Amino acid sequence: MACYVMSGRSIVMVVDTDDPPSKDVRVRRATVPLLALTVGFVLADSAIVTLALPEILRRLGGTVPQVAWVLIAFNLVLALVVVPAAWICAHRDPAPLCATGIAVFAGASAACALAGSMPVLIAARCVQALGGAFALVGCLELLVAATDERRGVARWIAAGVIGTALGPVAGGLLTEAISWQAIFVVQVPVAVLAVPAALSVRSGAVRRGETDRPAVAPNAALALLSAALTAALFLLVLLLVDGWGRSPALAALTVSVVPVAAFAARPVARLARAAPQAETVAGCLLVAGGLTALALLPSAHLAWTIAPQALIGLGLGLTVDRLTVDALRDRSPRVLHGGWTIGARHIGVVLGLAILTPVFTANLRDAQVPAQEAITALVLDARLPAADKIALAQGLSDQLTKEHGRVPDLHPAFARLDLAPPERQVAEQLERDLDSQLERAATQAFHDSFLIAAGLALSALVPMFLLRRRVTT
């Protein structure tokens, strides 16, 4: 016996209800969380390796542009493949396609963990994205089939938002606690369990009627917002780890403010009982404001990043799910439009990386001169004996040469000095002052990127207002 769950005008989901209700409930209880977890994992993979990139570069060798492709390749392949994958899922039974996608994703995750060279890792990431694309759009259909239209779509969207926001946090903690390979290893068992879960949902997709055009305004807004959020999810962790020299675990804990605030966004919206468009406008303003605040940090104290991140997290929670709902509403086939939203978001991530990476790398290069001059001034004027200043200058020069192109660790230059206790105190203060100058230079290097990202977040308002005007006229 089958019951048909109507979705929009054209897709009919066929849910097998031959089993007794109790078994159906049991299956659903296990299946729905596993499928939602899979969605979360796949979307977390977009940013999960951010904090592990320096470690990957150290272990696998290669160049900085190559290691950036570990990030870019996944987002690019996902963006390109997800719409065709959704089209296939709209015309075939999504359960086996989804299960295959999850299995490919699991296998590619294992391959990522075992990769011994950068090209192998990048290739495995591409395959991971390929499997992930089928898993994502398949899970949308299966979550709806296992629950209902409203709850299925809501869980799919929520899992995606949470996965996106939690990605850098999870990656940072796993890298620090175990290793960068652990990021990929932990995904394998969940994905392996999700394969039978996907196959257990009996669904059949039958294309009926015409295919609606993709919703341009919400998808364009999603792409622009995702480009802006790239700054929060990628650049902020780079600033914390590479710019300010914090550990990946501390950086991960710090950026956990974003997912926490994103969680809080929905209750806030319910409390405000705001209109959908008001939520999106408020969300864009919050993301843009948070990114502007990151561009105007008063110091390198981690506490200063909390309020800007809270604004970004609230904005993320208010906008991404609302825009995704708008993109899916009354459009069929739902899975295809789900694919468009994922594609738009990951094109946005790639766009964000393409725009922001050259800006901040050029600014980081430009920041070297003022940083070196500020350090030179402090060393020249330091209240240390002249011979110690010369030895320190030599040590600092060696460190700068050794870590060319990166924010250097100046401590070895101070550790080599043989100083009397009073001079040791002066040297410790000098080291703190020099580190502060480096932090200032690094923060300044990210300033333009955060402002550009804020501009991208504000520009997400444009398609929504244009659409509103068209609808009004």
Partner 1 sequence: MMPAARLRAVALPVVAAALVSGVLGVQIAHGGGDFVPARSASPCAHRAVTSVSTGIEGLSEQLVLLGLDGAACRLHVTREALALDLAQSRTPTDAQVNAVRAGLLDAVNRMKAEGKLPPASELTDEALDNSNLNGLVKAAIRALPDSLINSALKTDDVLRRTINDLDLRALLANLDDPDELSRQINAAVTKAVKDALVARLRDLL
Residues near partner 1, by CB under 8 A: 269, 272-275, 277-279, 281-283, 285-286, 288-290, 292-293, 296-300, 304, 307-308, 311, 314-315, 318, 367, 370-374, 376-378, 380, 383-387, 389-390, 393-394, 397, 437, 440-441, 443-444
CA dihedral 79, 68, 180, 260 (to 10 degrees): -60
Q: Which C-beta is closer to partner 1: that of 198 or that of 295?
A: 295
Between 172 and 243, CB nearer to partner 1: 243
Name, in order, each residue with C-beta under 8 angstroms of 138's C-beta and a sequence gap of 6 or more. 89, 94, 95, 97, 98, 99, 101, 102, 198, 335
* Least Cβ distance, residue 422 to partner 1 (angstroms): 10
| Beta bridge pairs of residue 72 | none
CB of 247 vs partner 1, minimal distance in Å: 22
Residue 15, strand partner residues: 3
Task: Tell me, rounded to whole angstroms, the distance of Cα 200 from its chain centroid.
Answer: 30
End-to-end CA distance of the chain: 47
Closer residue to partner 1, CB minimum distance, 116 or 298? 298
- Token readout for 375 is 């350090």
Nearest approach in angstroms of CB 397 to partner 1 is 7
Phi, psi of 117 (to 5 degrees): -150, 160
DSSP 337-395: HHHHHHHHHHHHHHHHHHHHHHHHHHHHHHTHHHHHHHHHHHHHH-SS-HHHHHHHHHH
The amino acid sitting at 50 is: T
Cβ nearer to partner 1, comparing 377 with 466? 377
Map residue 460 onto helix, strand or coil. Answer: coil
Q: Report the residue number, 48 or 438, with the smaller CB distance to partner 1.
A: 438
**DSSP-assigned letter for residue 305:** G
Pick 61 or 370: Cβ nearer partner 1: 370
324 vs 443 by CB, closer to partner 1? 443
Q: How far is the CB of 292 from partner 1 (least distance, A)?
A: 6
Nearer to partner 1, 176 or 439 (CB): 439
Instruction: Choose among 186, 136, 147, 192: nearest CA to 29.
Output: 147
Q: Are 69 and 185 in contact (CB under 8 A)?
A: no
Least distance to partner 1, CB of residue 267, Å: 13
Question: Measured between alpha carbons, how far is residue 278 from residues 191, 283, 284, 292, 407 in Å?
Answer: 37, 8, 10, 21, 42
Which helix (H) or strand (E) is 13 found in, with range? strand 11-16
> Residue 25: enclosing H or E segment and its boundaries?
helix 21-44
The smaller minimum CB distance to partner 1, of residues 63 and 376, is found at 376
Nearest approach in angstroms of CB 457 to partner 1 is 11
Q: How far is the CB of 157 from partner 1 (least distance, A)?
A: 19
What's the closest the beta carbon of residue 38 comes to partner 1, in angstroms? 32
Min CB(124)–partner 1 separation in Å: 40
